[in-house]
Structures are given as C-alpha cells and as structure tokens.
Amino acid sequence: MKIDLSGKIAVVTGSSGELGRVMALTLAECGADVALQYHTKAAPAEAVKARIIALGRKACAVQADITDRTSIEAMRDVIRKELGNPDIVVTSANNGAAAKPVLEQAPEDYLLSFRSAAIQNVLMAQVFVPSMIEKKWGRIIAISTEVVILAHAGQSAYTAGKRGMDGVLRVLAKEIGEHQITVNQVAPGWTISERDRLAGSEKQDHYDKNVPLRHRGEDRDIANAVAFLASDLARFITGVFLPVCGGNVMSSI
C-alpha cells in the first residue's frame, strides 16, 4: 500500500513558503502534477517548479492574490492551460498581521487575517470545486495551526482568521460531500523547516518539553499528512481537523 497520486493535478497556494514548497514537492513525489501559487516571491516557486520537473512531473508557477476572485480565476485559466483542472487544492498561503494584545490590535488586522484564511478558502472553492464536481472526485486540504486550540496571547487576529476558516470548511464538507469531494484541515505545530536547519534552531527546549513526543515535527511530517488526505487512502475522511504536532494539542470528542 502506498500513496499514489498518479494522474492527479494539485494546486498549492503559498508554495514559496517554508511548508508550502515541501507539500508541493511531496505531492509530486507521489505522482501528481503541481501548480505553484505565489504572491510576490517568484524565485522560490520557480525553484520548486524546477525540482518537480526534474522528478518527471509537470509543474507551473503562477502569481495570484488569493484574496481576490479575479486573480484566482486568472490563475485557474493558466493552470487549466498548462496542466488541466486541479483535482487537489491545498490552501497553505497565509498573510497574517503582527502579533499584538487584543487591546492593541487594529481592527484592520482581523480583516486581513480573515481574508487570508477564510476568504481564501471560499474563493478557492468557488473557482476550483465546479470542475471537481464534474469529475465526481476532489480534495480540499487547508493548512490551519495548533494555535487555534492553544489560543496564545498576542495571537487573536491569527486565531480568529483560522477559526473562521474552520467554520467555512466544515460547512463546505457537508455541502459537497455527495460529489465525493473531501474537505479537511491539517494543523501543524511549531514545525522545523529549512530555515531552522540553516540556522541550527531545530531544538527549542521550552517548547519541546511540553510535546508528548518531546520534539518538534518537521516540514515533511506536515507534507506527509497532506499527501495522505489527498489520496484514495483517505477517501472516507472528511470534515477533519488533524493536528500534526506530536500531541501538543489534542482535539476533543
């Protein structure tokens, strides 16, 4: 048994990010062709594109604003021309405000977070789900965070945006499930990425001691969860909020 995404097309938003690029590469390693969305950082997306093509898969890098429907529709048209209609949508892009106490956070910061999280998923669904309905197969996988459960001080805007996203996605899972389209969330903990490896900052004792597994997860752990949820191995899983954080948070029943 293995994760086989051969013949599938994925679009990953935020593919210039530390986690987004690893998710995109992992999906390609599983056999998918991948469209890479970026907003301002073209060079990292192009680098991932080159690595995916080297794996023998197809890839394209597309600039888009994930909070603007017209921009997302233009991205869809490019992807359709280059690769086809996506079967898998991974919403990893995030544009959060600086962390501040609630009493100091500007209302505009909450709107920014909501647009980045909840509205991104609304628009991506509206633009890409219709073709999934035609195929009777699709995957929506949104990247959330353990912070929505931990509710850290200073993170109210970030938490509010992601919690709004959670509500959208749970409703969406019920609305489009009849078309064999699943909708799930992956919630990373404080994850080790290439930035940490270069800086030698993988170990964080003050955080690690509270994690049941006693260490931080790695970017590949998040990508593996995404690949699983994108596959037919997870065909009967929908509406799930999946923490990938070594047990640092545990969803209640």
Residues noted as catalytic: 158
Question: Whole-angstrom Cα distance, residue 218 to residue 244?
Answer: 10
H or E segment and range at residue 176: helix 156-176
Query: Are β-strands 241-244 and 88-91 bridged in parallel, bridged antiparallel, or unpaired?
Result: unpaired
Question: Whole-angstrom Cα distance, residue 144 to residue 140?
Answer: 13
Residue found under tokens 């709004």: 164
CB 116 within 8 A of CB 95: yes
Other beta carbons less than 10 A from residue 136's beta carbon: 10
CB 157 within 8 A of CB 103: no
Question: Whole-angstrom Cα distance, residue 137 to residue 164?
Answer: 25
Question: Whole-angstrom Cα distance, residue 253 to residue 244?
Answer: 17
DSSP assignment of 66-133: TT-HHHHHHHHHHHHHHT-S-SEEEE----PPPPB-TTT--HHHHHHHHIIIIIHHHHHHHHHHHHHH
Torsions phi, psi of 10, nearest 5? -120, 150
Torsions phi, psi of 62, nearest 5? -130, 130
